[in-house]
Amino acid sequence: MSEFSSVHPDAAAPHISPFHRAKGEPRFPGGPAPDPAGSHHERRIRSFQPRRSRVTTGQAEALERLWPQWGLDIDGRSVLDLDELFGGRSLPVVLEIGFGMGEATAQMAAEEPTTGILAVDVHTPGQGNLLGLADRAGLTNVRVANGDAIILLREMIPPASLAGLRVYFPDPWPKKRHHKRRLIQPEFLDLVAPRLAPGAIVHCATDWEPYAEQMLEVLTAHPDFENTVPDGGYAPRPAFRPLTRFEGQGLDKGHVVHDLLFRRRQSL
């Protein structure tokens, strides 16, 4: 998953030690579960690898205070009512898979207050950071989901309910033997397509050239999607996707970032 780093007020804050917990006690009572889907879903190759990172005091406070209101564990046990999830408001909902520390997500949510953003990641510090950012900015259109996005899409997202999908800087899994772990594959698009409303936009971005080529190939070949670029190929970075510090560092090193914007075709 991507990680957008920035200097944050919590950066120098004390860290929460796991040794302060009694044996068997949840890391964050009322917060994200360590394995929300548990053993009731099959084992399979995953496109992500959870990272063990320290959680600052501010991130822990945000998790404990805000998770019951804005957090969602992906347990795969029921289909979501997206209007209910966003407080009874009927908003177009965009699913973002992999948000790192959440700065870009919070910025997009602030600039799109009438769009609900359902942001999925397994990185606990990032979950706490995004909740804190949303709270401090007074945002009410962000929900943070914890767990496997595949289970979320397959078991919990209603048909034709999403207005868009965003996958920014996913793990490129550069070694050839790991390419099967890449998220953007034909099978993934088969799963995504029925959950997207006609006209919904799939927006991917990567600075890994071989992965960009694979994304372009599989999206172009899929019958349910059409490139928004008339002549095909990559799209310019749209204004709504922030230029992050992480991305800026890559550009300074000469990396080339490719954006892909594909539209869900109208049903036949």
The values of phi and psi at residue 172, to 5°, are -80, -10
- Return the number of other C-beta atoms located less than 10 Å from residue 152's C-beta: 24
Q: Pick the catalytic residue: 10, 75, 135, 171?
A: 171
Phi, psi of 143 (to 5 degrees): -125, 140
Measured distance CA(1)–CA(99) in Å, rounded: 7
- Cβ burial 137-149 (10 Å sphere, 16+ → b, else e): eebbbbbbbbbbb
> Tokens 């804050």 — which residue?
13
Q: How far is CA 160 from the centre of its chain?
A: 19
Q: Is 171 a catalytic residue?
A: yes
| Euclidean distance between CA atoms 226 and 230, whole angstroms | 9
Contact 100, 4 (CB under 8 A): yes
Q: Quick check: 227 and 219 in contact, CB under 8 A?
A: yes
HSE-up of 81 (CA within 13 Å, CB side)?
6
Q: Any idea which residues carry the catalytic annotation?
A: 171
